[in-house]
Amino acid sequence: MNGNYREYKLENGLVVALQETPTQTIAAKLRVNYGSSHEREGEEGMAHFLEHCLVTGGSKKYDPIQADEIRGSFGMFNAFTNIGRTYFVGQMLEEGFEKWLDYISNHVFMPRFDSERINGERERVLREISDVKSDPMYPVNIEFNRVFYRGHPKGRFGLGKEEVVRNADLERIADFHSRGYNPNNIDLIVVGGLPENIEELIKQYFGSHPKGENTRKEFPSLTHLQKKIVLHKPAPERINADNPEGSSAQIFLAYAGPASNHPDVYAIRAMNQILGGDTNSLLFQNMGLKKGLAYNIETSYDGDYNVGELQVIANVSAKRINEAVNTIFEEIETMKTKRVDTKITERIKRMAKYSLAKTLESNEGHISAIDMKLDEGLTPKSFMEGWDRVTPGRVQEAAKKYLPSKDKGKYILYIRDPLKNNHNKT
């Protein structure tokens, strides 16, 4: 990381990570280790609602109108919440950096909670929840999360419950805020053309706030699936009105893999790329080009929060679902039984090297790299060393270990079929 990455702690426990780059701009991320998984019973949705209130509700120093003007002076400002954290991110010219520190420290530690803004954000959050629940994929995601995550926090619906948001008064919002928005739960990452006195500035704006309850947490591992589960559901909204017999069904094949800090991850990523990562992949070549079953088919891997999840996702002809499913498992068996060519693994390693180089060409990319360092101890050097260890043999071993067989495997096959009620499909 240009040899300039440095990390330290303030006396109150706030973690600071700084990276100098030869740019005229600065990118910053404040990670508050407090998200939807920290909500108690009856608080479902408070983390996300609080994030909204902090962004637009003003602070003790700035009223909401002043805060709007300051926020609008940055090149970019955003905030978002997931199960483990709430993030506040900004991009600005160097001359605007101290104003960002002033703004974000005041809003995070000393919010005003303006009642008019709170009620406005309450209605926005309720509308956001309604928008998501109005999407035909909402019940699909809820059912999938129930059977795949089986109670793990990663399967939570992060936007929460309408009644919680609707009934959250100022006292409840302030109480939820006080439990987690403490400096010992926060990481500040700053990358770019940094001012010479950056450490003094950070201490000035963040150093005086006292420690509080520790909400940093380790997430549990997800237990392995015990059996295969096939969910074949009607999806009438996917009917092709002009040509019903040509309608497309959706296939989601999901199975457990290792978490992101596992040594098998590099072989897993290579395996996924070979199976369905691009137009050279087995699935694209066979299902797409050879059989014409799908316009696009892809694989994915997510190992966050101590949960490894692998998926194959495709839209296929609703009249050829069985053929498509069989083809997917045929290519899975190919991955297990046929060792890939060394040229293929070398190509994938070059792609990984390119991706890393591309990432480190931007301040935001350096922030992502520091994220990985803080969370997993991973550096660009160790990242490439991990990829250097990938061989055809390791890829095949990963395929045998993690890819499921059709008959005896432990996986979830979710099929959304627009013709299920029109044809007697099973």
Q: Which residues contact 380 (CB under 8 A, 6 or more apart)?
A: 1, 356, 360, 369
In the chain, the percentage of residues whose pLDDT exceeds 70 is 98
Scanning the structure block, which residue is given the tokens 């040229």?
343
CA distance 186 to 178: 13
CA distance 31 to 213: 16
188 neighbors 206 (Cβ within 8 angstroms): yes
Q: pLDDT tens, 90-109?
A: 999 999 999 999 999 999 99
Residue 424 has pLDDT above 70, yes or no: no
- Strands (E) across 197-294 are located at 229-234, 248-257
User: In the structure encoding, which two tokens stand for residue 359, read together?
Assistant: 């990432």
Q: pLDDT tens, 238-250?
A: 999 999 999 999 9
Scanning the structure block, which residue is given the tokens 């947490």?
217
User: Phi and psi (nearest 5°) for 402?
Assistant: -115, -25
Do the first three CATH levels of 6-206 and 229-417 match, i.e. the same topology? yes
CA distance 299 to 274: 9
Mean of the pLDDT values across residues 338-343? 95
DSSP state of 340: P
Q: Is 411 left (phi over 0), alpha (psi -120 to 50) or beta?
A: beta
CA distance 157 to 54: 21
User: Phi and psi (nearest 5°) for 82?
Assistant: -130, -160
CA distance 107 to 209: 13
59 neighbors 52 (Cβ within 8 angstroms): no
pLDDT at 422: 57
Name the CATH topology of 229-417: Cytochrome Bc1 Complex; Chain A, domain 1 (3.30.830)
CA distance 172 to 163: 13
Q: pLDDT tens, 208-251?
A: 999 999 999 999 999 889 999 999 999 999 999 999 999 999 99
pLDDT at 4: 66
Residue 426 has pLDDT above 50, yes or no: no
Q: pLDDT tens, 169-180?
A: 999 999 999 999
Listed by start position, the domains of the chain span 6-206, 229-417
Mean of the pLDDT values across residues 303-317? 95
CA distance 55 to 60: 13
Q: pLDDT tens, 314-329?
A: 999 999 999 999 999 9
pLDDT at 379: 86
pLDDT at 198: 97
73 neighbors 103 (Cβ within 8 angstroms): no
pLDDT at 224: 85
DSSP state of 363: H
Q: Could you give the C-alpha distances from 320 to 194, 313, 419, in angstroms and in order?
A: 57, 15, 11
Q: Mean pLDDT in the chain?
A: 94
Residue 333 identity: E
304 neighbors 82 (Cβ within 8 angstroms): no
Q: Could you give the C-alpha distances from 106 to 99, 100, 425, in angstroms and in order?
A: 11, 10, 59
> Sign of dihedral through CA atoms 266, 382, 221, 359?
negative
CATH class of 6-206: alpha beta
Q: Rounded to the nearest 10 degrees, what angle do helices 46-56 and 115-134 cross at?
A: 130
Residue 1 has pLDDT above 50, yes or no: no
Beta bridge partners, 87, equal 31, 80
